[in-house]
Structure 1
Amino acid sequence: MPTTALAGMLTGLALIVAIGAQNAFVMRQGLRREHVAQVVLICIAADATLILLGTAGVGVVVSSHPGLVQGVTWLGAAYLVGYGLLALRRAAAPGRLSVGAAPASRGSVVLTTLALTFLNPHVYLDTVLMLGSIANGFGDQRWAFAGGAVVGSIVWFTGLGLGARALAGPLGHPRTWRVVDGVIGVMMIALAVRLTTA
């Protein structure tokens, strides 16, 4: 069983470590030291829930409704474009980019985290379909695999949020924030294009 759990953890990490919209947002909040715990907990809870649903067999239902996946794809792409444009706007307004800039409200950060998580069709493909299918291939040990994948999410999001938070001081210069927001803006829009053309 420990080997199965380790396989789950490594597989989960392999799927979530790539920097996407959600990871970029977690990193940004960590750098800003702004509502980091809430963002990390939401990401972990969402991943855990979706992994467990996939292991329970919900992936079969999702894959049999391609219209649902397509709808989420277009909603997610629209949100990514909007968020990307806001990030580019922040990058173009250096006076608002310092660490001392007015913090976003907890509510807006929570809503953004939820949107970047649940409006991203890749989260369903990676957790419900991919990890769920792989977990079910382990038969009686599928829950050990799922548990390992959940541990992978806990390790990744905690490390990303707190690791970025530790770098907030060295990266606290306004010019750095312009670069960070510029890169995030371009990445979000590129992801939206990729989602709708894949």
Structure 2
Amino acid sequence: MALFPALAGFGTGASLIVAIGAQNSFVLRTGLTRRWVLPVVLVCLVSDAVLIIAGVAGIGTLTTRAPWALEVIRWLGVAFLVGYAVLALRRATRPAALVADGAAERSSRRAILTAVALTWLNPHVYLDTMVLIGSLAATHGDPGRWTFGAGAVVASAVWFPLIGFGAARLGRFLTRPSAWRIVDTVIGVQLLVLAVALALPR
């Protein structure tokens, strides 16, 4: 049945994508500010699709044979997460200014580059999409693995627009500086926790 691999892929993709992480936090924050939502959502969506397709095609096996590549990505991810956490915590100390300037990235280029970095410098995204999804897809054979991958891509295509454009409806609740202080503090702490988790030896 062609439908089963698609549903299995959708369920697997959703379970991996929905977990709140640095990427989702940024998309959510972008949606709340209602600025640069479409390009940020597209970056995350297209990136996930590329990585999932690569995993289904079998590139995930290459990462298991070159662990040094994941190690480099891991430390780049630690550095970026710490840097972005510091920026978020600094914003939390001046929420009044944050509300005044729209609480968003100042340019579409900066927003897009941040989305790219949070996606491609996160080693977990390679393990989730290329290795895990690729491995699970392979169990369905041909052409089932591609149907499985398509299901995972659909999950991504549903999730990112949902939190990006759906979050905009909460914008009216975030006009107070105290609300943004909480949002950025939570994001900053979460990013630091993720950075420490990545840095710890395995």
Same fold (TM over 0.5): yes
| 1:49 Cα deviation from its structure 2 partner | 0.3
Counterpart Cα distance in 2 of 1:187 and 1:99: 25
Aligned match of 1:76: 77
Which TM-score applies when normalising by structure 2?
A: 0.95
Cα distance change on mapping 1:11 and 1:96 into 2, 3 Å: same
Fraction of identical pairs, as percent = 51
Task: Report deviation, 1:177.
Answer: 0.5
* Aligned alpha-carbon RMSD (Å): 1.1
Decide whether the 8 Å contact of 2:23 with 2:118 is kept in 1. Answer: yes
Query: Residues 87 and 185 of structure 1 are in contact (CA less than 8 Å); yes or no, is this contact kept in structure 2?
Result: yes
Residue 154 of structure 1: aligned partner: 157
Instruction: Give the drift of 1:101.
Output: 3.1
Q: 1:182 to 1:4 in 2, by over 3 A?
A: same
> Superposition pairs for residues 127-142 of structure 1, below 5 Å?
127-140=129-142, 141-142=144-145
2:96 corresponds to 1:95: yes
Q: Who is 2:191 aligned against? A: 188
- Contact preservation (8 Å) 1:99, 1:172: no
Of 167, 172, 179, the match for 2:170: 167
Q: Partners of 2:100 and 2:173 in 1: how far apart?
A: 11
Which amino acid in the other structure matches residue 190 of structure 1?
V
Q: 1:66 and 1:4 mapped to 2: Cα distance?
A: 29
Alpha-carbon shift at residue 102 of structure 1 (Å): 6.7
Query: Residue 115 of structure 2 corresponds to which residue in structure 1?
Result: 113
* CA distance in 2 between partners of 1:111 and 1:87 (Å): 16
The one-character-per-residue Cα deviations of 1:97-134 (angstroms, maximum 9, x if unpaired) are 21643741001000000000000000000000000110
Give the TM-score normalised by structure 1: 0.97
The residue that corresponds to 2:7 in the other structure is: 6
- Given the superposition, is the C-alpha separation of residues 95 and 172 from structure 1 closer, same or farther in structure 2, using an over 3 Å criterion? closer
Post-superposition CA distance 1:152-177 (Å, at most 9, x none) = 00111111101111111122222101
Give unpaired runs (5+ residues) of structure 1. Answer: none
User: Contact (CA 8 Å) 1:99, 1:173: kept in 2 or not?
Assistant: no
Deviation at 1:41, TM superposition (A): 0.6
Say how many residue pairs are matched: 198
Match of 2:180 among 153, 171, 177: 177
In structure 2, the CA distance between the partners of 1:138 and 1:186, relative to structure 1 (3 Å rule), is same
Q: Is the 8 A contact 1:99 1:174 kept in 2?
A: no
Q: Deviations over 1:131-161 (max 9, x none)?
A: 0110011001100000000000011111110
CA distance in 2, matches of 1:54, 1:190: 27
CA 1:44 to 1:10, structure 2 compared with 1: closer, same or farther past 3 Å? same
Contact 2:33 2:102 in 1 (8 A): no
Q: Would you say the 8 A contact 1:97–1:178 is kept in 2?
A: no
Structure 2 runs not aligned, ≥5 long: none
Task: Write the distance in 2 (CA, Å) between the matches of 1:68 and 1:52.
Answer: 19
What is the aligned partner in structure 1 of residue 66 from structure 2?
Answer: 65
